[in-house]
Amino acid sequence: MGCFDEANAYLQTLFIKSADSDDLHSLKPLLHMAMLYGFIDDAGLLFDKLKKLKAIKPGHNTDLERVYLLLRELRLDQSTMVAAILAIKKFIFSQDVVIPTYSFSYNFEYDIFIELKCICFVDDIELLARMDNIIDDMLIQMEVEIDPALINLCVSCRPYNLSYGIG
């Protein structure tokens, strides 16, 4: 917990090694991790590989692939996405909050946005609300200073609930 830079470096090593692998039991979880850590380009390569291996049926987009395609459409840069998610995770950790799991959701019915929900081991709703406000400010600052496409990314903290399982 808290070794986010090391986790990103380890994922990058796994992406390189995945180029020579056809092991679906490692490629599918790696795809999920790519998306959750913001490695959009690497996720695209994994989607292509899984389609070639017929592990994903062409024309049958999974929810995760829809999020990936939406991120591509928004032209969010991988390094920007990774940096934004990394900064937010470090902030949450600095508040002594453990994040055991994450989930992506998306909406494009009224407005295009992608939400990364950080499921936290904490019962203090006021703390989560304060963290959400700070994260919103962080994202707005990144949107202004780094990439306007971040307007479509929303990150929120939610209390852990048994229905989520253990990430």
What are 154's strand-pairing partners?
115
The fold of 78-160 is Alpha-Beta Plaits (3.30.70)
Maximum mean pLDDT: which of 17-31, 45-59, 64-78: 17-31
The closest of 51, 84, 53 to 69, measured between CA atoms, is: 51
**2 vs 89: CA distance, rounded Å:** 8
Q: How far is CA 31 from CA 26, 59, 128, in A?
A: 9, 18, 28
Task: Specify the residue for token string 């796994």.
Answer: 14
Contact in structure between 48 and 118 (CB atoms under 8 Å): no
Q: How high is the pLDDT of residue 167?
A: 41
Average pLDDT over residues 121-146: 93
Q: How high is the pLDDT of residue 35?
A: 86
Q: How high is the pLDDT of residue 163?
A: 66
Which pTM does this prediction carry?
0.82
Angle of CA points 3, 135, 7, to nearest 5°:
15
